Amino acid sequence: MFREVLEKLPESELRPEVELAMAHTLEQQTVQQKPDWPAAIDVYEKWLGAFATNRLRPQAEFYRALAHFHAGNETNAFTLFTNFVAQFPTNDLAPKAQWWVAVYYYDKGGEFNLAAETSFKLLFQTWPRSPLAFEARMMAGRAAVGRNDNPAAIEHFTSLVGDTNCPVDLRTQALFAYGGAQMSLDTGETNRATNLQLAIEVFSTIHRRNPASESAARAWGEIGNCYLQLAAYDARHYEASSNAFQQVVNSAQAGIAARSQARVGLGRVAEVQAGQKVGVDRIALLKQALNQYLDAFLYEKILRDGEQPDWFWVKNAGLEAARVAEVLEEWSQAVNIYRSLQKLLPPLHASMEKRIIRAQERLASEKN
């Protein structure tokens, strides 16, 4: 239909718009279940050659760059998006082009995190009213965390937390990220406890604002982690840690991942406490830890209607349970856990087989 229009009205002033529309149809046309990006790129190239001064040129430039990305030509896309920002800084598509450049650096990680942070900062500073501005500041904070600059990350996160124009969900994300950065802040051992106490205050803000929410349950889990680390300075914090993790386990809003993580947290609290005991008291706490890990590992016991297991925490809890079973010299139970891990998570089969053989050897030597 577009071609028919062009054939009938070859000199129409709408010709550039029609040809751009044709390029969009090629992006949606499938070749072996994939859009025909090379064909779309070819149309954009021809369009730019024919209508270089047309008012729609920025759109053609942007979508050509995007087509290169989808076609797998990331280097070309990066060059085109970078040039777009320089050539059309006042165009509505400029923030989107800058976002793409920033994400390009962010996805590479490592030494590129500084470039990612700088690129995201350029976005929210140059286009503060863009719908992407708040998210760009959040991503700048994450990039700062990626390069271990927690003070810079905290600056980005607290800016979002304090901005009432920031969407509520993103402010909650910023609070979690702020608390996490505060926990990891390297200000020397003497300030470690102070940093953790401040992190607790940050996470407490989340459940105070909306106590009956999944975010509140997750915040309790982070508080439990903070108190567990604080217990290294004052053993009384073990109880606070256990209480926080138990809040997650009991929460009707907590998902299976949060509840499983909390049970692993309860296991770790008991295990650390066991390290400070001897004899029957030590054994009792290790068994308590083992039971918590097993509750998370044997997920069918704790799944609620409509939930699916979280395999990351199934694996984590299973490995922790088997390790504690070995510490308790309960070799048969360790073997059973490793075999269950093999069935649940086939990629672990080879590594679990080695552990099974080792545990079986220990079991046999004890019998002899």
Residue 28: the pLDDT is 60
Q: What is the pTM of this model?
A: 0.85
Classify residue 341: in a domain, yes or no.
Answer: no
Q: How many domains does the chain have?
A: 1
CATH code of residue 86? 1.25.40.10
What pLDDT does residue 96 have?
97
3-class DSSP state for residue 35? strand
Torsion sign across C-alpha atoms 178, 180, 186, 190: positive
Range(s) of the domain holding residue 61: 1-91
pLDDT digits (tens, 9 = 90+) for 74-120: 999 999 999 999 999 999 999 999 999 999 999 999 999 999 999 99
What's the confidence (pLDDT) of residue 56? 87
On whether residue 336 sits in a domain, the answer given is no
Query: Comparing C-alpha atoms, which of 293, 357, 367 is closest to residue 325?
Result: 293
Q: Write the pLDDT tens digit of every residue in 213-229.
A: 999 999 999 999 999 99
The whole-number mean pLDDT for each consecutive block of 10 residues of the chain, a chain of 368 residues, reads: 66 66 63 73 88 89 94 95 97 97 96 97 97 98 96 97 96 97 83 94 94 94 97 94 97 96 98 96 97 95 93 97 96 96 95 95 85
pLDDT of 37 reads 85
Residue 9 included in any domain: yes
Q: How far is 300 from 234, CA to CA, in rounded Å? A: 36
Q: What's the rounded Cα separation, in Å, for the pair 80 and 90? A: 16
b/e string for 92-129 if b means 16 or more Cβ within 10 A?
A: ebbbbbbbbbbebbbeeeeebbbbbbebbbbbbeebee
Is 62 inside any structural domain?
Answer: yes
pLDDT of residue 110: 94
pLDDT at 9: 64
Q: Rounded distance, CA 170 to CA 106, Å?
A: 19
> 338 with 355: CB under 8 angstroms?
yes
Q: How many other CB atoms sit within 10 Å of the CB of residue 36?
A: 19
> Which DSSP symbol is given to 351?
H
37 falls within a domain:
yes
At residue 306, the pLDDT reads 93
- The Cα–Cα gap between 73 and 62 comes to 14
Q: Tell whether 17 is covered by a domain.
A: yes
